[in-house]
Amino acid sequence: MTSLSDKAENALNETRTLILGAQVLVGFSFQAGFQPGFTRLPLAAQELEILGLGLMLVAVGLLIAPSSFHQIVAGGHDTPGVIAYTGRIAALALLPFAIGIGLDAYIAGLVVVGGGAAAVGLGVAGTAFALFFWYGLDWAWRLRDGPRQDAMTDQPEPEATPLETRIKQVLMEARVVLPGAQALLGFQLAAMLTDAFAQLPRASQYVHLASLGLLAVTIVLLMAPTAFHRIVERGEDTERLHRFSTAMVLAALVPLGLGLSSDFYVVANKVLQAPGLALALAAVSLVFFYGLWFGVTLAVRARGASRRGVASGPRREAGRGALPDLKPEARVSRAAR
């Protein structure tokens, strides 16, 4: 039987695999609007590129969400709730990912074959292929296996996750976000050297510059735990390192959301030529990011605290070893041991 810690580590690795592909496509979509060939596309295709970018941002936001849930709700501990939440989020994120792949395939078809049924066929085939291997084939196997009891129900109440495991997982969560942020920063730096960027309104250029700064802040924060581990703790695993790493990962999500939304405004305004609509789309994306990464997780943690009857008493910080999924009798028995 796979342990909770192994399941959590596998879930993080799977999320990292998905988000790397999503973030590269987001970087391409951000830069596509600055390429000379983009203006030769039909207006409808340009608008579809904005739609595809929005869908990929949704996928990225969903795939980052398990990291904040793990740290805010579960305090870095491995619980059945964390495993279940990560699985649901990953399955949901694949849908906009698949549609985004289809839209990119359609635009590629427009460039090569010049539009018509062939381009539409490429787009539909791209989405259908992804949906088949990500949903259809998986559900067919699941139905063939028939109903079975979840292995997690056979496990005893979760114990506190060892410090070494919690540190390894929070550093892995930093690696989930870091490569994508670095790729986006590279794409956006290259975009500044294009002729299309020089033709942007001055305000959009400043917003883009601010977005670059926010992505740079994100990268610095995500790399800070490594320096702290080597310089301050000299390679030792400590509770202080875990608290610092958790704080850095969660803090990095703040400038990351702002940076993604800001550049979404720049690209949307360039294509749609409607500053008001572009600003509204950017605001919606920012609300989506912060609501998913912080709003939902804080609400779940507050509800869990209320169910445990500690909402009116002193609250323990989630980063200090709280185990939201432990039953009271389990905590008493553990203390007795």
Q: What are the structure tokens assigned to 273, written together? A: 């030529």
Q: What are phi and psi of 325, to 5 degrees?
A: -90, 0
Instruction: Look at residues 272, 178, 186, 293 and name the one whose alpha carbon lies nearest to residue 226.
Output: 178
Helix or strand run (H / E) with residue 91: helix 80-113
Task: Calculate the CA 278 to chain-centre distance.
Answer: 22
Q: Where are the domains of the chain?
A: 4-327
Task: Residue 79: count other Cβ atoms within 10 Å of its Cβ.
Answer: 22
Split at pLDDT 50, 70, 90, the class of 157 is low
Tokens of 284: 């919606």
Task: Determine the Cα angle at 80 with ends 329 and 173, to 5°.
Answer: 125
* Rounded distance between C-alpha atoms, residue 257 and residue 4, angstroms: 30
| pLDDT the model gives residue 153 | 46
User: Cα–Cα distances in Å, from 323 out to 73, 169, 240, 265, 293?
Assistant: 9, 16, 18, 40, 20
What mean pLDDT comes out for the span 25-35?
A: 85
> Nearest Cα to 257, choosing from 226, 305, 221, 304?
221
pLDDT interval class at 337 (50, 70, 90)? very low
Please, are residues 223 and 178 in contact by the beta-carbon 8 Å criterion? yes
Q: Is 162 helix (H, G, I), strand (E, B) or coil?
A: coil
108 close to 29: Cβ distance less than 8 angstroms:
no
Q: Could you tell me what percent of the chain has a pLDDT over 90?
A: 44
Q: In the chain, what are the helix, strand and coil shares in percent, each to the nearest 5?
A: 80, 0, 20
Residue 304: which residues within 8 A CB-CB, separation 6 or more? 73, 324
Q: How confident is the model at residue 112 (pLDDT cuts 50, 70, 90)?
A: confident
CA distance 289 to 218: 15
| Whole-angstrom distance, CA of residue 125 vs CA of residue 105 | 8
Name the nearest CA neighbour of 41 among 87, 94, 109. 109
Quick: pLDDT tens for 34-90: 888 888 888 888 899 899 999 999 999 999 999 899 999 988 888 888 888 998 998
Summarised one tens digit per residue, pLDDT across range 200-258 is 999 999 999 999 999 999 999 999 999 999 999 888 899 999 999 999 999 999 999 99
Q: How many helices (H) and strands (E) does the chain have?
A: 12, 0
Positive or negative: CA dihedral 123, 126, 130, 136: positive
